[in-house]
Amino acid sequence: MSRRPLLHRLEITSVAVFRALYLGDMLCAVPALRALRASLPKARITLVGLPWARQFARRFHRYIDDFVPFPGHPLLPEQEVRHAELTPFYAGMCERRFTLALQLHGNGTPANDIVTGFGARAMAGYAMGDTVATEHTVLFPYPSVGAESDRLLGLVERLGASAAGDYLEFPVAPEDRQELEASGIADGLVPGNYICIHPGARKRDKCWPPRRFAEVADRLAAEFGVGVVLTGSADEAELISETASHMQARAINAAALNSIGAMAALMKNARLLVCNDTGVSHIAAGLRLKSVVIFSKADIARWAPLDRDKHRCIWDPDAQRSAAVLQHARVLLAGTDPHRQRRAGLWPYF
């Protein structure tokens, strides 16, 4: 068998990429998708993911050409299985005759069996155990450490792709700005003179208490003279209202925005984001928006943004470290030099 990397020894005209996860997890795959596109500029790349991710595929159309909704699997918890769609789904995938099926979902259990069912000429991904390398199957041992984006980028690099940057992205489209403008929420906000507070998370048990978010927002508003915008989805409206009820400063409630894109357009002109460990933290990284991210359950080393100067991650499962959150928010708003922060004892900050 040739020792050349898989991407170099096959003439790849089409790729199916499997990653059936939610927004933050999907954004972590962008560096890998970017490297894949740069290495296979003429190949047709199809994302196979949760139904919501059709909008992700549209947003990242530079790297993704097509989208197929995944009907689910009993061992994957992200969605209920749509049993009636399983047979047509796998039949349709096989009919597409992909050159390569790339498993970017995780450690391979049960994702490798799912991807094998796509009937592609070749298959690659991570797996538990030793490396598997045949002419048409390459499975590398799943890394137990490292940032999520680095793990995924590392996989495609080992397959022969050249890295095209490890940074995240979140393109803001004209329709996102139009929705924001039509909402009136940004009326009167001065770009660079407001902060976003995002108290929600997809899993409510990951949320820092609303009273803590309110405390930090009030102090920052008083000390820096910035406006405060409370962001979140319509499902988080009650949580946003509770946060506002604890505040002394006036806050703009942005829960009325109907899309992630409009929220990103709002955040793009903010000066700082304070949030839980959730997808919005990866949006901030993609927008180059400074952030303080509060972790209570997830692995910081895996899910923290790579730029530790712009993004400060605080471990606070007992909601006892509001002073640390406030301290790092002050540093980011003041623009203190990172070297001075280290000398002042603000580094490391996990």
What pLDDT does residue 349 have? Answer: 52
Query: What is the domain partition of the chain in residue ranges?
Result: 6-158, 174-343
Query: 246 pLDDT exceeds 60?
Result: yes
CA distance 23 to 237: 19
Instruction: Tell me the per-residue pLDDT of 194-245, one tens digit each, with 9 for 90 and over.
Output: 999 999 987 777 899 999 999 999 999 999 999 999 999 988 999 999 999 9
What pLDDT does residue 336 have? Answer: 54
The two domains 6-158 and 174-343 share their CATH topology (first three levels equal): yes
The CATH superfamily assigned to 174-343 is Glycogen Phosphorylase B; (3.40.50.2000)
Q: What is the mean pLDDT of residues 277-290?
A: 96
CATH topology of domain 6-158: Rossmann fold (3.40.50)
Q: What is the mean pLDDT of residues 296-303?
A: 93
Under a CB-based contact definition with an 8 Å cutoff, are residues 132 and 47 in contact?
no
Instruction: Tell me the per-residue pLDDT of 331-343, one tens digit each, with 9 for 90 and over.
Output: 999 985 455 545 5
pTM for this one?
Answer: 0.92
